Amino acid sequence: TLFDDGGKCPISDNTQCGCEIHAQSDYRGTINASEEGPTCLPWDAEIITESFGNFLPELFPSDGLIENFCRNPGGLNPRAGCIAPVPSERGDLIHYCDIPNCDPCS
C-alpha cells in the first residue's frame, strides 16, 4: 500500500528524490548536472551573485544550497534545478535537473 496506517503519505528519502507537491524543494541529493547536460555551478559562484543580485545561500539558508547540487530554493521553480554557465533552452541560466519524484500522493 502507498499509505501508512494513518492514511498519510510515507516519508520519502529526500537524498534520492523530491516531492512533486513541494516542487522538489525538499531534494537534498548530490545530482549536479542538468537534463540538458551542463554541469551546475556552485551556488556561491560569482556569476550567480552578479546575475541574481544576491548571495543565494544567504537568501535561502535552509534550502541546502551547498556545492553545486540541484535544488529548488524557496520552491520558486516548478522543480529542482541549478544554474549553469550557458543559457537553457528557455534562454535563462536556470537548468532543470533529472530528479525523480518520490511522492506517491502527488
pLDDT tens for each residue of 32-45? 999 988 899 999 99
Read off the C-alpha cell for 58: 544567504
Q: To 5 degrees, how large is the angle CA 50–CA 53–CA 56? A: 95
> Is residue 1 over pLDDT 60?
no
Please tell me the pTM assigned to this model: 0.82
Half-sphere exposure of 50 (CA within 13 A, CB side): 5
> Is residue 8 over pLDDT 80?
no
Q: Give the residue, 3 or 64, on which the prediction is more confident.
A: 64
CA–CA distance, 59 with 74 (Å, rounded to integer): 9
For every residue of 44-105, DSSP letters joined together read: T-HHHHHHHSS-HHHHSTTS---TT--B-GGG-SSS-EEE-SS--TTSSSEEEB-PPB--TT
> Is residue 4 over pLDDT 80?
no
Within 10 angstroms of residue 93's Cβ, the number of other Cβ atoms is 19
Do the strands 94-96 and 81-83 form a parallel or antiparallel pair, or are they unpaired? antiparallel
